[in-house]
Chain A
Amino acid sequence: MLNQTSKRLFLENLRERLGFQTRVDQTRFEHTSWGPVDGPSWPRGIFQKGLHEIVAANGSHHPAALAFGLLAAHATADHRPLLVVSLDHNDQDNGRLYGAGLAALGIDPMLVFEAKTRTEKDLLWTVEEGVSCAGLAAVIAVLDRKERLYGFTASRRIKLRQEKTGIPVFLARHAHGDATAASTRSLIMARPSEGILVPSNHLPLLSAPRAALQLVRHLGSPPQTWEIAFDASNGLRMVAEVQNGPFAASAGAIENAA
């Protein structure tokens, strides 16, 4: 029979394994004002330098978080290589990067290098080393479980290194966590795309995948939300239409998402 502490630890571990979002994150997503999508308000150049945290709505939206990091990094890469750093604990949970799939996303797989580390300490060391390398375009790091070392101090160290080379870092995080020295923090979740109706098909065909990106933290600007699309030809782009109603529906969808 488990005592209360053991039970709590067991449930936390189970949630972590199944990728459930914490109660705190759900509250934030629900209560944030989504507002209309605004094309001109996309902050140009915001992701060209600095440390950017991307938090998936929950574990099942991790692909959207990673894809956004890759595409945002690739947008300014100018044929320079990207370094993707992740923990070597379990590729089976979230999948491994697939070269042919990167090509279908519009990213040249020959420009993507991966580093797998056994510990979070090695991961942060690798990010710092990558940020210090002038030849890289960007570093994309994945922390897909509860962080033990990453926090204000580690983020500050990364930013100090970045100031010399200007290389951006995109960190896909497990959950919000405490305040860090990151330049921006965004929440992301996949959104239904526009289906292409074909009379002979039982189901609509797929168009460019979409996601809702909520910039929750950026110095000097209030939280904003956009609906973005990933397109192999055009990379990352903003969807122009106003989507107030569906956003309200999607807030409920986040709460119920597994």
Chain B
Amino acid sequence: MKLRSVSIDGYGKFAGREIEFAPGLQIIIGPNERGKSTIRSFIGDMLYGQKRSALHRLFDETNELRTPWHNPDCYGGRLVYALSDGQVIEVARNFDRKREQVQVFDHTSGLEITQDFELLRNKEVNFAAKHLGLSKEVFLNSATITHFSLEHLGDNDALKQIREKLMSLADTGEEEHSAETTLALLRERIEAIGQPSARSKPLPSTRAALMLLDQELTAAREREESTAKVADERRALLGETTSLRQERLELEEMLALHQQRACKAQCEEADALSAQVDKLNQRCAKLRALEEFPLKSVPKVQAAQQEVDRLRAQLKRTRAENKTVQDQFNAERQHLNDEQDGGVIDLPEELEGRFTDLNAAVQHTGERLKESVAALAEAERTLAVNQENIEKLPDFSRISSDPVEWITQLASSYDAARRSREEEARTLAEVTADVDERRQNIAKDHALFKEVSDFSEKAREYDLKERVLEQETTRVQTNMGALEEQRDDIRDDLPGMLLLVGLCGLSIAAIVVAYFVTKNYNILILGGVIFLAMLYFLRNYLLTHKRLVEIEATICNNGIPPKPHSEEEDGDAQIAALMAETGCETVRELEATYDAYRAASAALSARIHVLHEQEARAEEAAERVPRLLEHVTEMFREVGVTVETEDDVQRAAGSVIARYQEYREAKKNIAESHSQIDRQNKERVRLEEMLARDREQLVSVEDALRKIMTAAGIAPEPGRSMASALRAYRNATSERREHRARAELLQDRAHTLERQIHEEQLEIEKADQELARLLAHAGVSNIDDFQHQAERAREFREQWNQRVQLQERLDAVLKGEKIEALRAEVAEVVIEGDPPAQSREELTTALDTLNARIEANLEREHALHISITERAAGGRSINEIEESRTVLAKRMTDLEHELEATSYAMAVIDEIARDKHARIAPRLAERASAYLSEITGGAYQEIDLARDLGIRVRIPDTNELHTAPEKSLSKGTVDQIYLALRLALVQCVSDVGEPIPMILDDPFANYDDHRLERTLKLIAEISDENQVLLFTCREDVVRAAETVNAPVIRL
């Protein structure tokens, strides 16, 4: 594409401005703020419009920014450009939002061709993308090399920065975003989501939380099931209670039946009782006179009589006792007098207590000592058992400080290796299939081109020869045309010349005849002149004929076009053969086929490289598994666990952990046993010391006691223990004390009994007086009369009481009812059928049993109810757990989905980048090297680009490729490397489509005059293919441009 002209109706500061561009290099100069950027923006907007999105008719910020300053209503213009096929396109646009319009015209035909292009949903016509094969962003970023792009390049890492820019442009068409930065962003994303190893990251932590929730859910379900069982039990209990209640109801009905019968019996009983009451009434009437006898005083009289009797008997006993006491006292006095008493010496309580304490302490300490010795023996036995156990187990302490983690890591590493092996094998299969497919796809082209070395050179030579031949052919054809025209003219002229010669001959013959007739010599003069004319005509004829013969000979010699290529030239033959094979009509077509083959071949090479890498990875992964298995087997064998197969590792790891736990338990027990033995040894020593001390003190206390006993005349028997001596001493002294005390007591008792005899005599007198008073009150003189009268009065009272009791029973039987009513009621009741088989008591008992069972059931039911309530309150509900689980599961699914999608995007981006870089790198390096060489006048001749677009420059001094030559390069040279690469990049992009016009904005800040001239010369050459619009504000650039005759537009 070559931009021919822009016509700006209104756009930013421009209004009614027309600019025509040269097809090659066009310099546009103007000071700052003259609108250079506006023109660039206008070109972009004219080609692609100002829409923010391809889907919606929304304008981006440029629309507002570039609104015409002077007449906003006139916002738009026209752009004319030519395509490489000769088609000239004119674009007319109105950027006004309300009157938005875009029209595309074909200048060649003069027709509007807007409809020929796809109309996007944002109302844009997609002509520019179709012609250039680039989006607006890619076009602007790739084709525009601005001063801004270069000025921030620093001295350090300049090539790295250039590489990044280059990658960004190659990958995305933007300067900031390359595949590498894209992959880095995606890598960050994956890290944010969390790989399985990063436990604190969202995905693994969610997975762990989900496992916990599953456990909680299982527990809740189990709890629910157990609660249901309890509820079933409770339900069964309730059912049983209901049936018991029913049974109770039946019993109560049977009791009611009994009640009816009892009612009848009650009536009969009431009648009988009523008759008895009447009988007793009659008897009571006879004894009515004794109704007032003071029966209440009978007990008093009896008591008074008994008191008198008792006091007399008591007096008698007291006197007898007094006599006995006097006798005993006398006997004791006699006994005490008979004994030769040495007195009673009490042992000091403190000394005695001290002896008791020491004795007890000695015994207690001795027992504790025995216990300690026994515990020590037990600890030693336990230690022996545990040591025996641990000897059977492997020594895990030698293996790792944390064997569980070690085993887990070992098993995890092994699992990871297995997974990696499978993954790598799968990837290898995919890559192999891809490589095979690619090989198959290029097999035909490969067979054709493999024999052709230096195809490009040969094709170029072939093409050159073709062009030369074509020019020659054209030239020859032109010459032949002229010769043929000349030949035809000569052929036309020759008969006339021959006629003139003939006429002259006839004239001469006629003159000769006339001379012989007339003999006039003058006629001979005329004849001579005619003869001379005839000779002249004859000469002309002969010369023309000769020329005709020569022309015909020339035509005969040159009429067939020369062969384009000699058969002897192998290269040409190969190219010709290739064209025939591939069916290409032109070398350009063949080159395109070759380029496609090269691209496919490069892609295949890249894929083969990937395949080799993958093979290596797969092999490494495959080798790693048996190696790890062997390692794991070896390690596990050391701890006594055998790994049979690859799948056996997890089980073996479990066994190892179990063995380690046994080992740890035995170690713990041994440590505890040692500790126990130490403790018991210390205790034993301490107790032995304590026992010795106590025994020593005990001996001194015993000596003191022995002295006291000897002094009291109760010396301990030799060989007898001090404790038994003490007991004997105590017995002897207490016996002495007892005799003394008894004598004193008997004496006191004798005095007391004498006083008592006197008092009892006084009391007997009082009791006699009281008895006499009571008899007088009853109207009798002696006790016998009183008892007779009382007997009769008691009979009356008995009869009366009996009557009252019968009356009460009658009332109780009647229960407040009148006997007549009861009789009437009984008369109405008809008792049918047999009485219940069980008695009333049996029924009552059964009822009580039932009530007890019901009560027990209710208590049990209450307990079950509480149990159910407690279980229900034991944790979260299944609803809540499931809801939590759903939320977490969704989260985990989302995260896994995100991880998978991101990983997949990374894989695809990586593959595309590798493929693209591998394809573009050689071409880019070749072109950029040539450009750099030209710019630097051969000082720097080679730029090398690796597959990852890593840049190396061959340094002339050392002739080595340098990856970081910044320190030895000037800033200008770095700029020039960048420019060379950018120019090469644009051309590479153009290789597959329309040549892209380049827009340069003062990229020569650090160029010296020589390199500036050479650069402009290079740009002028490049501009034959890719039009270059060079915007600058520097006059030296203009001067340099003049050396290559570049036209200049001044703003």
A and B are partners in one complex rather than unrelated chains: no
B interface residues, Cβ below 8 angstroms from A:
none
